[in-house]
Structure 1
């Protein structure tokens, strides 16, 4: 018991503000239930009146921001708000939980959350106004992430939330993507893995439910062939070319490369050459920098349609420069799922493509 208390105090010193309730052990975890929750769902625990004010507005702007590149509005995460006084044992088993409070707030819900902080945590937050977040794993259930967002005042908390918007979003994006990957990548398509290694020299981890469609010079296409009302029609393709100039990864040039790849390779109707796929320009694609297996990548999100306007949908892609081999790789997943939300299918594409394994020494 002395060793456990020593470890607990060390964690307080190291992370500056660990809660008293964080002390766990392997035996304790084995007795906890397994965390549960729908894909992309976050339980937001906050005093009802505080949520109706400026803090709630900022949190909504972070957690319920619209996903870029989609036709209809879809939020990054699905928020389920609960007042602290309504938390039950069942609710505490949620996969993702965020507690929010400020220490100057005397409303019952906020005081209930603040009471969970140790005196050391309260003191540290007072002395360092940049401290605003504590992360706890498996606090109430195995596989769970519990985040505490706090500040001495609302103004202080709002400032920190705005400064760390992308950090908070990325934390849950990665977590949800990893959870999905654990579920869908249990069984991979061995034939596609072999074809990927032969064509490109790296490992493609594509679920067994996907099937080979087509390959050509430096090109491979796979598809999830059994779309239903509960599952999107998803296609994945990979393309390789020589890397000759930094201009190749400029946004407009990535779009042009995409259109060139698809114009002669992918058709909405194989019997109709005019049904080739193009990038929809009415909704401008969005770009951001990423990393895949240690390699720099440029993510692009947007909408596609067939040239004859017969079909359309969403896509997400990664353009990767391998300077060691002098190659540029373009990996994309696009989906057809009319009249349904797209974010879960897009997250599946992310999970698959970001599981790509490049040879060691070429990162």
Structure 2
């Protein structure tokens, strides 16, 4: 009788223990933006494979004044993951096996989700797969995070009729942003945060203002002239300028099927101590013979800035030119 009672209690405890593990498996669906769940055994994570993952996915974000990782990585051993599902938006599953495999599965365990599977017969084979496919993986993960940010925006959006009327575009902008300045070809929106603020500015330039052979210099010159004209500090004779000590990061891309330049760097308030990162998109609109510039910048001296700037990027990349 006592043996039977003990056996029943043991089975009940074992069952509750298994249930507890399942309930406690990490759920990142509501986690912070730019988070990856990396499923990998400790032996690989603490060696060359883990170093390769950290070098690629936790590399410093370009254009920030202090080093911050591209993604926040949460690592879990494979045995915890197998047999359980997860709601993480981005999952990287890395292990040794009898095959060589690289695969990205969309919405494998939940939606939206990127589940990346990398299996190799050796450490060097796994590292080779990571090196070969990292840029593709990062792009997919960033795209899903931008979409998630934009989905959050839709819960409470700013009325953008003023932007539509002036520039013939639409944007997804959270309602926490307010219009702080409007001129003929210029709009400034700002969101106050603890000990600082985030801003989006939009302005329009003549068609031949930016030349492809001298694009970076033209963009810096233009944004400095905008700072001189519109963006001043609380101290007299202050204005926003591009930080001269560091060259901006520059790349070509498309936004809403239009040629665009992306420029990342840091700004400072001349004759003042304020500074921070900026993200500038210069978009060519041949139909209307104009160049449209959308820029995000923040001032947050006591905060990490990665996610603040990523929010601004998500706002700008929601652009839609009206027909």
TM-score by length of structure 2 reads 0.84
Which residue of the partner structure matches residue 265 of structure 2?
Answer: 302
Aligned residues: CA RMSD:
2.3
Answer whether contact 2:227 2:241 (CA < 8 A) is retained.
yes
Cα distance in structure 1, aligned partners of 2:50 and 2:183: 52
Which residue of the partner structure matches residue 149 of structure 2?
Answer: 180
Distance change >3 Å, CA 85–CA 160, structure 1 → 2: closer
Equivalent positions of 1:1-363 (< 5 A) are 35-87=29-81, 92-104=86-98, 122=99, 125=100, 132-139=102-109, 141-190=110-159, 193-224=160-191, 226-228=192-194, 233-244=197-208, 246-247=211-212, 250-269=215-234, 272=236, 274-360=237-323
TM-fit CA distance, 1:325: 1.7
Distance change >3 Å, CA 340–CA 89, structure 1 → 2: farther
Answer whether contact 1:317 1:333 (CA < 8 A) is retained.
yes
Q: Which has the higher strand share?
A: 2
Cα deviation, 1:84-133, whole Å, max 9, x if unaligned, reads 123488883333221002325xxxxxxxxxxxxxxxxx4xx4xxxxx522
* More divergent stretch after superposition (275-284 vs 347-356): 275-284
Paired positions, count: 296
TM-fit CA distance, 1:34: 8.9
Distance change >3 Å, CA 89–CA 213, structure 1 → 2: farther
TM-score by length of structure 1 reads 0.75
TM-fit CA distance, 1:152: 3.9
Answer whether contact 1:219 1:237 (CA < 8 A) is retained.
yes
Cα distance in structure 2, aligned partners of 1:327 and 1:218: 11
Cα deviation, 1:185-238, whole Å, max 9, x if unaligned, reads 333222xx22212221222332222111112231111111x3226xx5111101
Distance change >3 Å, CA 144–CA 204, structure 1 → 2: closer
Cα distance in structure 2, aligned partners of 1:346 and 1:143: 22
Cα distance in structure 1, aligned partners of 2:256 and 2:240: 29
Cα deviation, 1:295-351, whole Å, max 9, x if unaligned, reads 222111111110013211111111101122211111101101112100111111011
TM-fit CA distance, 1:180: 1.1
Cα distance in structure 2, aligned partners of 1:358 and 1:248: 26
Q: Which runs of 5+ in 2 are unaligned?
A: 1-26
Cα distance in structure 1, aligned partners of 2:247 and 2:162: 33
Q: Which runs of 5+ in 1 are unaligned?
A: 1-32, 105-121, 126-130
2:230 is paired with a residue whose SS is coil
2:86 is paired with a residue whose SS is helix
TM-fit CA distance, 1:175: 1.2
Which residue of the partner structure matches residue 13 of structure 2?
Answer: none
